[in-house]
Amino acid sequence: MKYNIRGQRMEVTDALREYVEKKLSRLERYFEAPPQSDVNVTLSVTKGHQAIEVTIPLPGALLRAEEKRDDMYASIDFVVDKLERQIRKHKTKINRNFREAGSARALFKEDFGNGNGVTTLTRDEEDDLELVRTKRFNLKPMDVEEAILQMNLVGHNFYVFANTDTKEVSVVYRRNDGKYGLIEAAE
């Protein structure tokens, strides 16, 4: 894998660069052949938090993880753990959906190199896709500003509403930077 490592509001030292490459190279053991795509890594410091964002484009999939901690090295460790979980989940999904040879299944190794030659997924990793709750409610027609106010009143990070401007169902959400976003259905 080729690494594009850059810093936002910080300088990327040689020690940090080596640590990122060493930790991310652990992911290569999950693939039959190392991906030829560029791995994009952004290191940043925001409000005292050390953040890392990693994006790995793969054929038919996009692995992306982000982590913020007080220590950059801890952020790197946690983001690699997140990416490993994503790969295992993706592998499980592929194995469930594609049983024929020559499919996307050939992208990942059967044995992840954990020493005993057996690949096991814990029950927790498979249950992460389990639907545990369904809510139904009437959508009140409102504009975007009122939806943001309602979202803040209920204390959630998102709010579903009937948009009076578009006459469609829309979602407002709070972004990590504290600002707001709007999701609308494409026509």
Please compute, for residue 79, the number of CA atoms within 13 A of its CA located in the half-sphere on the CB side. Answer: 30
pLDDT in tens, 108-144: 555 555 444 444 444 444 445 677 788 887 888 999 9
Q: Which fold has domain 141-184?
A: SHC Adaptor Protein (3.30.505)
Contact 94, 108 (CB under 8 A): yes
CATH code: domain 2-101 is 3.30.160.100
Residue 85: φ, ψ to 5°:
-65, -40
The pLDDT of residue 129: 66
Kindly list the domain boundaries of the chain, sorted by start residue.
2-101, 141-184
